[in-house]
Amino acid sequence: MMTAQPVVRAGSADLSPPPFNLPRRAALFLDLDGTLAPIMPRPDDVGPDARRARVLARLRRRFDDRVAVVSGRSLPDLDHILGGGVRAIGAVHGLVRRAVDGTITEIKPHAGLEDARRILGELADCERGLLFEDKTLSVALHYRNAPACAEAVVEAAERLSQATGLVLQLGDMVAELRTPGADKGSAVAAFLDETPFVDATPIFVGDDLTDEDGFAAARRLGGFGVLAGKPRPTEADFHLDGPEAVLGWLERLTETAEVLA
């Protein structure tokens, strides 16, 4: 079975909020659900938001376009939710990546997705509350509205991972099977090799287990991670309570001129 299992540090309940005095060439890598937007019962319930769009526009000016959204969602979905306001995007956990200049790189869908798509779709049809999501390079089954099905969903996803070679990515009340390849950490590293991110200090903000690769990459490359939401063991160095706190911190970043040398 191919399962994404980032290494995490023990203990995070005592992490402090992130600073406002960021390195001079900081770059922000931001998750969406649970970070820039609250977790909703259905992915489609998250839509464009005026405050979020305003904050992201100001951040892009403040950091000279060194702002990227790195999310498990598809690229078209992210463009819709963000109103096209972010150029650099790592979609489907980094399997699809759009650079600031608009260049898109992505890998071919894994052959095993056909079986996973059919089986997970049938499960969703049979159990009210389960929600099937198709992202082309991955398929996911959400059980937020059917928590009693958690064990059955994960077990089915594990069997499919073993049978197909797809990567099993467990998230917040979701089991996702995705094409092997990039993750959020490798997406961060790839962005840092491109203009305008070259030589920048990466700061990754996210909430889910899928964001741990991003936290680890940010630290390895000289920056840090910020965990949003409930404290838990994590690779992040700082903590914010959730999307409202994240947006508040980001707003402060657009207002302050404080930077580290």
Q: Give the model confidence (pLDDT) of 20-67 as tens digits.
A: 999 989 999 999 999 999 999 888 899 999 999 999 999 999 999 999
Please give the pLDDT value at position 10.
44
The residues of the chain that CATH labels 3.40.50.1000 are 20-107+181-260
Please give the pLDDT value at position 13.
60
Residue 79 annotated as catalytic: no
User: Do residues 104 and 96 touch, judged by C-beta distance below 8 A?
Assistant: yes
CB atoms closer than 10 angstroms to residue 11: 11
Check whether 11 has a pLDDT greater than 80.
Answer: no
- pLDDT category of residue 2 using cuts at 50, 70 and 90: very low
Q: Which of 14, 31, 45, 213 is catalytic?
A: 31
Average pLDDT, the chain: 92
Query: What integer is the mean pLDDT of 87-110?
Result: 96
The residues of the chain that CATH labels 3.30.70.1020 are 113-178
Q: Which CATH number, 3.40.710.10, 3.30.720.210, 3.40.50.150, 3.40.50.1000, labels domain 20-107+181-260?
A: 3.40.50.1000
- Our measurement of the distance from residue 181's CA atom to the centroid of its chain's CA atoms, rounded to an integer in Å, reads 15
Please give the pLDDT value at position 4.
47
Check whether 202 has a pLDDT greater than 80.
Answer: yes
Residues whose CB is less than 8 angstroms from the CB of residue 76 and which lie 6 or more positions away in sequence, other chains included:
none
How much of the chain, in percent, has pLDDT values that exceed 90? 85
- pLDDT category of residue 204 using cuts at 50, 70 and 90: very high
Mean pLDDT lowest among 35-44, 90-99, 182-191: 35-44
- pLDDT category of residue 172 using cuts at 50, 70 and 90: confident
Query: What integer is the mean pLDDT of 216-229?
Result: 97
How much of the chain, in percent, has pLDDT values that exceed 70? 93
Three-state DSSP state, 57: helix
Nearest partner of 30 among 90, 79, 83, 81, judged by Cα: 90
Task: Please state, in angstroms and rounded to a whole number, the distance separating the CA atoms of residues 26 and 5.
Answer: 27
pTM: 0.89
Question: Is the peptide bond prior to 38 cis by the omega test (within 30 degrees of 0)?
Answer: no
Task: Please state, in angstroms and rounded to a whole number, the distance separating the CA atoms of residues 91 and 74.
Answer: 5
Q: Which fold has domain 113-178?
A: Alpha-Beta Plaits (3.30.70)
Please give the pLDDT value at position 80.
97
Residues whose CB is less than 8 angstroms from the CB of residue 185 and which lie 6 or more positions away in sequence, other chains included:
6, 94, 213, 214, 216, 217
- pLDDT category of residue 12 using cuts at 50, 70 and 90: low
